[in-house]
Amino acid sequence: MSTLLIKGGTVVSTTGRVEADVLVDGEHVVALIAPGTEPFGPVTADTTIDATGKFVLPGGVDAHTHMEMPFGGTNASDTFETGTRAAAWGGTTTIIDFAVQYAGQSVMEQYALWHEKAGGNCAIDYGFHQILSDVQDESLVAMDELVHEGVTSFKLFMAYKGVLLSDDGQILRAFQKGAENGALMMMHAENGAVIDVLVQQALAENHTTPYYHGISRPWQAEEEATHRAIMIADIAGAPLYVVHVSAKQAVEQIAAARDRGSNVFGETCPQYLYLSLEEQLAAVSEQWGDLEGAKWVCSTPLRSRHEGHQHHLWQSLRTNDIQMVSTDHCPFCMKEQKEMGRGDFSKIPNGIGSVEHRMDLMYQGVVTGQITLERFVELTSTTPARMFGLYGRKGVIAPGADADIVIYDPAGHTSIGMGKTHHMNMDYSAWEGFEIDGHVDIVLSRGTVIVDERGYVGRAGHGQYVKRGLSQYLI
């Protein structure tokens, strides 16, 4: 086994920062050493990395991705190979992707299919959540099997009728199983029936542009569904994690449940913190005309800045009303994919690609004073690891942990956009023109350097499947 010493950096955790050298042996961190001390004689290593002036961060854990997901009549454009490579570029060293069971399919067959897609192709480690749609008796049996396989979280949908939607009775049954076997239940909380009517009404009035995607998915539909999911989880006694929260009213529902002592958690995404209905969904460009906004069609939708959702979401990250930030990486190209929705916004495949940029975008929140450096580590690495049963191995730089480490330069700079920093398999960047006052210099995955000054130096197949335990975040 070869040894590696990361010297002179500032190691950051959720509780503070220390000047320490980090000794890696093979795939694991074995020691943090105060600089200038020689506790057991001089520390030598096969390789040394100089991290002077840099932050030494636990690798990012992105707990919400959809690599090559069949959705909206097409497939998400990143494969496990291209998507995990892009993640590595941006300092994310673990993803948790969603295996999908569509209505009528077998849960276990779909789970096996996701292993086939990911196996041997990933640049970084990966785990799975399982999406359940029509919850049958067989699905409940599969939930027990999957928990033993290390799939300890299940996502259900309150929207997308006939494709992914589960009715309230099905949701209750799945939640009851979660309460029994300890799995964390995840919810796409939007009132699908209400949205379907609003979409049809908008189209009937010839409101066909991407802006109306946002208008037909109002915050009330998110708040109502979030409340309903919380109530069903309460009846079942199951812990609940609400994905991609974008409305401030949904945050308030989660906060109220938490104040009552319930195991209810929320995730938001960079797009809901930075982007808006007015600026992105209503955008017009020379190339795409009023289809430009399709670049940012995702669900839940981008919300009105005028209504203050973005401001409230940043605040909720500070107060821990929202516990973590994932990407919901679900990329589509404009050509032949998003453009399927020209003249009908409801045909635009829903999703935004961000897996490469989450760490940088959230670090910029440190630069602008929205969150502290320690909170940044908590939101992007430590809490995702704890929430989804990976902590100890992931989410921390400590003896025994996997050496998933990012050396981040606070004096560096990152310009996001096509031809600049863009390695996702998309023909546009949802983050074009964003400037970051920091830079991912070096990325290690289980002790192997996979990104450095030469660029990406990892390989497809280095990434391994991680079997997860039960959530380590429950109260």
54 binds, among ligand URP, Zn ion, none (CB under 5 to 8 A by kind): none
Nearer to Zn ion, 153 or 208 (CB): 153
Judged by CB under 5 A, the number of residues near Zn ion is 2
Q: State both tokens at 332.
A: 């589509």
Shortest CB 131 distance to ligand URP, Å: 9
Site string for Zn ion, 138-177 (x = CB under 5 A): ----------------------------------------
Q: Does 129 bind Zn ion (CB under 5 A)?
A: no
- Measure Cα distances from 347 to 193, 214, 235, 296, 462 in Å: 17, 14, 36, 14, 37
Distance CA 374, CA 366 (A): 9
| The total number of residues written for the chain in this structure | 475
User: Cβ(91)–Cβ(408) under 8 Å?
Assistant: yes
* Residue of 125, 328, 356, 441 that binds Zn ion (CB under 5 A): 328
177 binds, among ligand URP, Zn ion, none (CB under 5 to 8 A by kind): none
224 binds, among ligand URP, Zn ion, none (CB under 5 to 8 A by kind): none
Nearer to ligand URP, 350 or 364 (CB): 350
81 binds, among Zn ion, ligand URP, none (CB under 5 to 8 A by kind): none
Q: Does 267 bind Zn ion (CB under 5 A)?
A: no
Residues near ligand URP, by CB under 6 A: 66, 188, 244, 298-299, 328, 330, 350-351
309 binds, among ligand URP, Zn ion, none (CB under 5 to 8 A by kind): none
- Helix count and strand count (H, E) for the chain: 13, 23
CA atoms within 13 A on the CB side of 84: 30
Residue 98 neighbours by CB under 8 Å, 6+ apart: 64, 65, 66, 69, 128, 129, 130, 131, 155
Shortest CB 323 distance to ligand URP, Å: 18
| Residue appearing with tokens 């259900």 | 156
Nearer to ligand URP, 152 or 350 (CB): 350
| Residue appearing with tokens 């004096």 | 411
Sheet holding 3-7, edge to edge: 28-33, 21-25, 3-7, 47-50
Q: Does 62 bind Zn ion (CB under 5 A)?
A: no
* Residue of 188, 295, 358, 446 that binds Zn ion (CB under 5 A): 188
Nearer to ligand URP, 156 or 371 (CB): 156
Q: At what angle do helices 137-148 and 168-181 cross, to 10 degrees?
A: 30
Shortest CB 346 distance to ligand URP, Å: 13
Shortest CB 30 distance to ligand URP, Å: 38
User: Cβ(114)–Cβ(125) under 8 Å?
Assistant: no
Nearer to ligand URP, 401 or 430 (CB): 430
446 binds, among ligand URP, Zn ion, none (CB under 5 to 8 A by kind): none
Shortest CB 461 distance to Zn ion, Å: 25
Nearer to Zn ion, 100 or 317 (CB): 100
Residue 271 neighbours by CB under 8 Å, 6+ apart: 296, 298, 302, 328, 352, 354, 430
17: exposed, middle or buried (C-beta count within 10 Å: 0-12, 13-18, 19+)?
middle
Shortest CB 49 distance to ligand URP, Å: 37
Amino acid at 326: S
- Which residues make up the interface to Zn ion (CB under 5 A)? 188, 328
